[in-house]
């Protein structure tokens, strides 16, 4: 019987490609491969999605000792790509996923230090592929396969579904071995499709997901903001300079850029954020006016099974959603029945501009609805939402089905958007964005709700409430920003703009979208940045903004940035230094 340990014994003079959806366990496989090979040969580990220090810590937790029989060295192609500061390590060479030539030089440099045949682990090819497109095929042939031909062993992993299918097929056709990870409900299967030493076989093992990490909000500030949006409280906006609303274009640009990196798990992670919605509702009640708190205690039903009780709650939700400018909500009383409720939404900010792209687009953004029900219900039970109609499917409006317990079709709905649909959506976003920047054409505009949504709604649509649900989510937001910023910079330069002119246009875009108040001199400062406003964290949390700025300035000025100050950690503004 072939074991996983046998699969992790990568033969010399061969390249094995590990393929699977995001979160399937490819990095874990790579880590275990290090542990199973470090006694027999040196290892060069290329990391494009996390810090070398994190990989090293995980290896230590899994039993890697301090005194190693062979060298373990790293190519750090993560920090520079996303604009994070890295700590110098004697075992690490820096590179960028955006520059395949530089990446190849870094690998060769470490290979020369080793002075013997080694194992190269490339975790993963997805960032350089999405940043450089089909050029990755030449990189694989000229760098990775060449290393294998010289007597070394190469294990590289790539995300399935994050790019064009024909590119993945081309990658698979060039390598000596293919191991494909296939996910089931409670297990994963390693499908050995071809291998220089092993016959085709399938190995099934248990599956675990990445752990959640803490993330906090300023509940008092968030509650006051929502009350102002609903007209329950007067007074100036919380963001005195730019106001408490954000252009819906920016929220969708953020969300769909993140989707480029993790189309399968990204919607599920955001949908699962309803647990945070529930806790936020319970925590925010104490900040409501005493009359509102008394009303909740006296008149809120035990549960929302009955139509008449759900109708009351949806009247409140209608006021909140229209105050947020998320969408115009209508409770379908005639279609609803006990424990089965239907809502209709018009001018939905999540779907606006993406008519008839081929999929329901509410996706994870619907996660707040079950969270609202669970937060207000006095019974302890789970609710779920399923989008049954959507503008993205060609319908004139969106409809949602709400039920307690499980709902058929939810998993399929959350995984319905494939790479072709994402590419179609991203193309519409980029065309609209460049039209605005070059020709002053308008961005998104809705007939009744206009072109803005509240900070609260922005948090739901861009899934900021799940922004640290896992390291995978944070990585998707960072690298999605890099890809978006890089493409914006490249398009502006291709249109004939000078460097400084392109920078001016990006500042204008950010301020037009009310991301914050931007200034650039020796550093980049954004006051009242929407991404970290009302958030409390122990580290800078402008994941998408940092990635976007890093991608843009790397394309326009060959510079990288890192965030040194952030509203989320208590600084007066967010700030980035050039490197």
Instruction: Say if 546 falls within a structural domain.
Output: no
Give the model's confidence band at 290: pLDDT under 50 very low, under 70 low, under 90 confident, else very high.
low
Residues 244 and 182 in one domain: no
Instruction: Say if 542 falls within a structural domain.
Output: no
Write out the residue range of the structural domain in which residue 378 sits.
Answer: 236-418
Kindly report the pTM of this predicted structure.
0.78
Residues 252 and 173 in one domain: no
Give the model's confidence band at 151: pLDDT under 50 very low, under 70 low, under 90 confident, else very high.
very high
Residue 407 tokens, joined:
């709902």
Q: Model confidence over 421-479: pLDDT tens digits?
A: 888 898 999 999 999 999 989 998 899 999 999 988 887 766 544 444 456 667 778 87
Q: Are 75 and 107 in contact (CB under 8 A)?
A: yes
Residues 199 and 88 in one domain: yes
Residues 187 and 336 in one domain: no
Residues 408 and 271 in one domain: yes
Number of domains in the chain: 2
Closest to 471 (Cα-Cα) out of 95, 158, 18, 78: 78
User: In this structure, how many other beta carbons lie within 10 angstroms of the beta carbon of residue 199?
Assistant: 8
Find residue 525's DSSP bridge partners: 519, 575
Residues 151 and 283 in one domain: no
Residues 293 and 400 in one domain: yes
Residues 55 and 174 in one domain: yes
Closest to 38 (Cα-Cα) out of 16, 7, 13, 59: 59
Query: What is the distance between the terminal CA atoms of the chain, rounded to a whole angstrom?
Result: 52
pLDDT at residue 101 above 50?
yes
The domain that holds 134 is classified in CATH as 3.40.50.300
Instruction: Say if 525 falls within a structural domain.
Output: no
Q: Model confidence over 406-432: pLDDT tens digits?
A: 888 888 888 777 778 888 898 999 999
pLDDT at residue 295 above 60?
no
* Residue 281 pLDDT: 59
Residues 316 and 357 in one domain: yes
Residues 195 and 241 in one domain: no
The domain that holds 315 is classified in CATH as 3.30.1380.20
* Residue 274 pLDDT: 57
Instruction: Say if 228 falls within a structural domain.
Output: no
Instruction: Say if 476 falls within a structural domain.
Output: no
Instruction: Say if 152 falls within a structural domain.
Output: yes
Q: How far is the C-alpha of 7 from the C-alpha of 180, rounded, in Å?
A: 12
* Residue 545 pLDDT: 93
Summarize the confidence of residues 127-138 as an average pLDDT: 92
Higher pLDDT, residue 304 or 1: 304
Instruction: Say if 531 falls within a structural domain.
Output: no
Q: How far is the C-alpha of 295 from the C-alpha of 297, rounded, in Å?
A: 5
Q: Which of 366, 391, 418 is the last residue of a domain?
A: 418
Closest to 387 (Cα-Cα) out of 413, 407, 421: 413
Residues 59 and 186 in one domain: yes
Instruction: Say if 178 falls within a structural domain.
Output: yes
Higher pLDDT, residue 356 or 68: 356
Higher pLDDT, residue 286 or 394: 394
Q: Model confidence over 242-272: pLDDT tens digits?
A: 999 999 999 999 888 877 766 666 677 667 7
Q: Are 525 and 513 in contact (CB under 8 A)?
A: no
């Amino acid at each position: 019987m072939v074991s996983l340990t046998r699969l992790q014994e990568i033969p010399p003079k061969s390249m094995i490609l590990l393929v699977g959806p995001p979160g399937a366990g490819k990095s874990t496989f790579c880590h275990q491969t290090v542990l199973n090979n470090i006694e027999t040969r040196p290892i060069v580990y290329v990391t494009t999605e996390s810090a070398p220090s994190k990989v090293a810590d995980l290896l230590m937790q899994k039993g890697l000792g301090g005194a190693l029989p062979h060298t373990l060295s790293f190519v750090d192609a993560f920090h520079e790509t996303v604009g994070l500061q890295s700590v110098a390590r004697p075992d690490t060479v820096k590179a960028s996923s955006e520059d395949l030539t530089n990446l190849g030089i870094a690998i060769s440099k470490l290979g020369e230090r080793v002075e013997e045949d080694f194992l190269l682990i490339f975790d993963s090819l997805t960032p350089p592929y999405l940043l450089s497109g089909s050029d990755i095929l030449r990189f694989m042939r000229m760098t990775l396969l060449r290393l294998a031909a010289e007597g070394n062993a190469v294990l590289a992993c790539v995300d399935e579904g994050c790019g064009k299918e024909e590119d993945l097929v081309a990658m698979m056709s060039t390598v000596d071995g293919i191991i494909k990870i296939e996910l089931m409900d409670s297990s994963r299967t390693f499908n050995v499709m071809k291998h220089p030493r092993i016959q085709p076989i399938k190995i099934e093992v248990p599956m675990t997901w990445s752990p959640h990490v803490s993330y906090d909000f300023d509940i008092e500030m968030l509650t006051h903001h929502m009350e102002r949006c609903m007209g329950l409280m007067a007074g100036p906006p919380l963001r005195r300079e730019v106001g408490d609303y954000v252009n819906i274009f920016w929220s969708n640009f953020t969300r769909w850029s993140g989707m480029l990196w993790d189309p399968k798990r990204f919607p599920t992670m955001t949908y699962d954020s309803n647990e945070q919605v529930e806790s936020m509702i319970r925590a925010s009640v104490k900040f409501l006016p005493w009359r509102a708190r008394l009303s909740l205690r006296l008149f809120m039903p035990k549960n929302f099974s009955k139509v008449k009780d759900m109708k009351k709650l949806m009247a409140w939700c209608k006021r909140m959603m229209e105050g947020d400018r998320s969408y115009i909500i209508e409770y379908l009383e005639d279609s609803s029945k006990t424990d089965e409720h239907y809502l209709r939404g018009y001018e939905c900010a999540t779907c606006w501009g993406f008519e008839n792209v081929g999929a329901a687009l509410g996706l994870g953004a619907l996660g707040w609805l079950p969270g609202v029900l669970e937060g207000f219900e006095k019974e302890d039970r789970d609710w779920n939402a399923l989008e049954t109609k959507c503008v993205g499917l060609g319908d004139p409006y969106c409809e949602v089905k709400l039920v307690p317990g499980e709902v058929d079709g939810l998993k399929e709905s959350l995984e319905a958007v494939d790479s072709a649909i994402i590419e179609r959506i991203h193309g519409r976003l980029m065309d609209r964005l460049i039209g605005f920047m070059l020709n002053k054409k308008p961005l998104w505009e809705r007939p009744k709700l206009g072109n803005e949504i509240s900070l609260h709604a922005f948090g739901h649509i861009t899934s900021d409430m799940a922004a640290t649900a896992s390291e995978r989510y944070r990585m998707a937001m960072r690298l999605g920003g890099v890809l978006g910023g890089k493409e914006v910079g490249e398009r502006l330069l291709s249109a004939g703009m000078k460097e400084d002119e392109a920078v001016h246009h990006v500042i204008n875009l950010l301020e037009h979208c009310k991301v914050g108040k931007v200034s650039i001199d020796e550093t980049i400062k954004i006051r009242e940045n929407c991404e970290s406003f009302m958030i409390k964290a122990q580290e800078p949390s402008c994941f998408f903004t940092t990635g976007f700025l890093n991608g843009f300035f790397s394309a326009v000025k060959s510079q990288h940035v890192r965030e040194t100050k952030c509203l989320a950690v208590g600084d007066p503004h967010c700030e980035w230094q050039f490197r």
